[in-house]
Structure 1
């Protein structure tokens, strides 16, 4: 498939698409640096702060699959524009919140809006960009997500320190409003308008839609959201509340709810319906391997960002701005190697990703060994050196994981494939923060000193190292498998 003739500026089109990924990640991470200000200025207690951070993560993850399916059914341009407008409005509501309850509700709605717009990014890239441009576009997708994550930490701290117009914590939300509004207007003009499912050509139509319109599987969407809620809510709130009985009951109910949802999805698919989960994608080896590798990577990345912030502020005594600036070199190196990664993979294949994973592993190991050797004063230079390796390695791995997972997905499955992929990654990030964060706090204790923070970071870094080794192994295994099979034109070999 080639770019439509009306799309004369593919670079601008890609920038508009990637603004959604950047904004979603920025708003997820920027709240981390606002917690003290929210407590001081808005009166947000511990439970409210958990919901402000975790509520966004939950609705974002729970709505992602449904958002992807909506794009397939209704049209990616229409859903992207509506999602971007909703994200802009809810971001404005976050900045105008007068009390913690209003901010919590606005954050829940903001996460849901993000879940509507973000799956359309990968879907449009997969459907619209030709093979010779798709790998680079997917690489930029990884850049946008990573830079958004780092910018949330760094730029958020700078905004709070500058106290623009005396707005305090509100500025971290309000700064994104004009960006979202401009992106929505440009998207309505630039994004290609794909036909409705009933009007697509037979070659681009799902077997489940033989020339007729299909409806969204609402029971399936509720089942998926419920399954995720039963895991994410207790993981997000259980530690601070002492793991009461309801958290264990929710976790125990996850499996039966997930099994029932899966059975309904298979039955609906067998009857020729359009289930919210496309289970047939798991028969595509590249998609399954890429999805599992993405889960391991995001479990490591989100938890590492979280625990490292705790080490920098609690263990090394840095403020929000200082801690944010420590992330800047890692973010710059990540951006650089992300841009180089697509070309390197196109030329040398997946060994580049294996090498990148090993560099990340070396950075994590260096950090752990330094904290073991000098827990009381590890030295900021050592930390920055380890983070430099992590940034270089991450840039060679993460953007290419997205392309490797979606390479075998057919065009009519692009939206749901992207939705399932991003949902599992978001879920992995939330679960990683909860589980590895719980390990961190357990090792650090109730009144941690600098040495306690170092010990806790060492343990979490070693767990993150194990997750990265899983990613490296999966990439290496799928590389060998792809060499035995006929390569896809856009697949990194």
Structure 2
């Protein structure tokens, strides 16, 4: 790797049993954060009735979490670099758990909006530390296994949120209606805090760490200006303020680049971007999350709005896709190593075939069973085959000292990819009338985007593109 080489202090690797405990703690925390992106969606009608929430208020209850989460991820990553991933993970988990309790007990629309924002802020402090812990505390095949489990958690969390949310609202436990979708986090969060305090290794923070405050403010503002209209725009028919906001966000990104070049402690060091494979892998990860997020959103709208499925059935429909993603994420390393990089474009191509098939079976107006379940499994398995190796390639040559910055970059890329996918594909589907024809056209667009993801991954096929020596 060219550029300045930073030699981090040697890290003591944990024993196998302890390492499993460490991985379990951070991945369960990650799962809860992903779960809360989608678990509230199915509870929305009940929340609106119970709290007499306005349409805009309900929108902020659902989207406020994602907005706070996305805009603060870079901040959370930098704070983890300054204070250590253990300390920041536990702080973020504590905030997330307390905010979940407050959400479950909220008595008004305003209170629930505020607590949802706090919940998103807690997740943003916690989530970037997951990749940092994996990068710092695991190496070789152990790191590859940990990243595979991480990928499976990301895939399953979104689908599990819809299924669990539907089950909890339908059960109406003790007449509490929607409140268990938040309260379910509380006992898990408390247990994780206890386990994390015991298992997570103590932090070793380099003394020369600093913060690029101007860069942090500019980048956080840029992400906010981009994410807010992407999250709220399609519900409000893309008002002028949304386009102005996104334009201002792009302009701030342009300002951020020269500010970073002059910073003593840049948020995204140049040596990080020169790490072999990181940039093309990050772009491909963005494309993978764009298609996955947009696909889940558009098909969920079609199943519930066009075909009349209840939230629980709609959530369960996605189970084969999540299972395919998870199984491949956990087993791809069993293939010969010479095939690992080739899995990435092959996986995108397989996902594209699945999307095209789903477009065909749903455009006829019915559920398309049993082919729908088969094609969901195909598309999920394809994305799993692309996604997990991408993380291994992206982080393979990142120095331990740059782990927090790499974590912030990848976590933000994941969230932005999902938000852009929901906004773009959701707008396309709704703009075409939310019909069987609309889901067919959306599926074709998803196919094209997945093939574009395969093209983005082509530079990773060569050993030089993915594992070039210093």
Fold equivalence (TM over 0.5): yes
User: Are the structure 2 counterparts of residues 485 and 332 from structure 1 closer, same or farther at C-alpha, using a change threshold of 3 Å?
Assistant: closer
In 2, are the aligned partners of 1:359 and 1:389 still within 8 Å (CA)? yes
Of 475-484 and 15-24, deviating more is 475-484
CA distance in 2, matches of 1:28, 1:101: 19
Deviation digits for residues 277-304 of structure 1, max 9, x if unmatched?
3344222241101110011111111111
CA distance in 2, matches of 1:77, 1:150: 28
The answer to whether residue 59 in structure 2 is matched with residue 58 in structure 1 is no
Deviation for aligned residue 1:399: 2.3
Match of 1:349 among 318, 340, 343: 340
Of 80-89 and 459-468, deviating more is 459-468
TM-score for both structures, normalised by structure 2: 0.93
Deviation digits for residues 19-65 of structure 1, max 9, x if unmatched?
12101110111112112112222222321222122221121111111
User: Are the structure 2 counterparts of residues 485 and 108 from structure 1 closer, same or farther at C-alpha, using a change threshold of 3 Å?
Assistant: closer
1:154 counterpart residue number: 163
| 1:71-220 alignment, distance < 5 Å | 71-198=80-207, 209=208, 214-220=209-215
TM-score for both structures, normalised by structure 1: 0.88
1:201 counterpart residue number: none
2:248 counterpart residue number: 253
In 1, are the aligned partners of 2:64 and 2:117 still within 8 Å (CA)? yes
1:456 counterpart residue number: 438
CA distance in 2, matches of 1:403, 1:44: 44
Q: Tell me the secondary structure at the aligned position of residue 379 of structure 1.
A: coil
Root-mean-square deviation (CA, aligned residues, Å) is 2.1
1:67 counterpart residue number: 76
CA distance in 1, matches of 2:237, 2:340: 48
1:411 counterpart residue number: 400
CA distance in 2, matches of 1:248, 1:486: 41
User: Are the structure 2 counterparts of residues 320 and 479 from structure 1 closer, same or farther at C-alpha, using a change threshold of 3 Å?
Assistant: same
| 1:288-307 alignment, distance < 5 Å | 288-307=279-298
1:34 counterpart residue number: 43
CA distance in 2, matches of 1:396, 1:380: 25
The answer to whether residue 353 in structure 2 is matched with residue 362 in structure 1 is yes
The answer to whether residue 468 in structure 2 is matched with residue 473 in structure 1 is no
CA distance in 2, matches of 1:484, 1:274: 26
In 2, are the aligned partners of 1:153 and 1:327 still within 8 Å (CA)? no
Aligned residues: 461
| 1:363-402 alignment, distance < 5 Å | 363-372=354-363, 374=364, 376-402=365-391
Q: Tell me the secondary structure at the aligned position of residue 168 of structure 1.
A: coil
2:429 counterpart residue number: 440
Deviation for aligned residue 1:442: 0.7
Deviation for aligned residue 1:164: 2.0
In 2, are the aligned partners of 1:154 and 1:327 still within 8 Å (CA)? no
CA distance in 2, matches of 1:486, 1:253: 37
Deviation digits for residues 406-451 of structure 1, max 9, x if unmatched?
112110110111111110220121121112211111101xxxxxxx
User: Are the structure 2 counterparts of residues 220 and 7 from structure 1 closer, same or farther at C-alpha, using a change threshold of 3 Å?
Assistant: farther
User: Are the structure 2 counterparts of residues 151 and 483 from structure 1 closer, same or farther at C-alpha, using a change threshold of 3 Å?
Assistant: same
User: Are the structure 2 counterparts of residues 49 and 285 from structure 1 closer, same or farther at C-alpha, using a change threshold of 3 Å?
Assistant: farther
CA distance in 2, matches of 1:441, 1:396: 30
Note the residue ranges of structure 1 that are not aligned, 5 or more in a row: 199-208, 445-451, 489-493
CA distance in 1, matches of 2:217, 2:107: 31
